[in-house]
Amino acid sequence: MTSPERGIESQLRNIEQTYGQSIDELVRVVEQSGLKKHPEVVAMLKERFGMAHGAAHRVSLVARERLNAQAATPAAPRDSEMAALYGHLLSVARTLGGDVAEAPKKGYVSLRRRKQFAMLQAAARCVNVGLILPGVEPRGRLEPAGNWNALFTHRVRVATPSEVDDELIGWMRDAYLRAA
């Protein structure tokens, strides 16, 4: 675990202790408020719980991340094996950096940083990982995207958890870094 991740975990523990609510409870409050804009959520948390700005900011970010992940669920596969694989790939994407944003679309989830760098799309027997890697020569399972999706340069079809290996994670990280 990286130092920033440890710092965020520490901050979340401190928020729970200081304000007497679990992060899960605070996320439910945000969800039930119906507020979507970050400044509005921060203001509501500050007013309702007397939170410091930094604490309200962090809770708003966590709520947005969790609620966006829930919104992405319809694009996830129905088959439990593929759903677990899809969830694992989404978890891997989140570890690439603290600024990975998930943008649910019809039929897939776009993974963004400053700009889109990847996507996950459930299929019947695999999860398609679309990557934006201009100038990278397709090889092996790193296929050219071709007619599959014009927004991406490459596609990797992932059918089993063992295929989420260092090679795939490396390609995902490369696409992530290029999207800075």
Running along the chain, 180 residues long, what does each successive block of 10 average in pLDDT?
74 92 89 90 94 93 79 57 89 92 85 93 92 96 91 95 96 95
Buried b (16+ CB within 10 A) or exposed e, 24-50: eebbebbeeeebeeeeebbebbeeebe
Question: Cα–Cα distance between 13 and 30 in angstroms, integer?
Answer: 18
Residue linked to tokens 């304000």? 19
The pLDDT value recorded for residue 167 is 97
The pLDDT value recorded for residue 74 is 47
Query: For the chain, what are the domain ranges?
Result: 3-71, 76-178
The pLDDT value recorded for residue 78 is 59
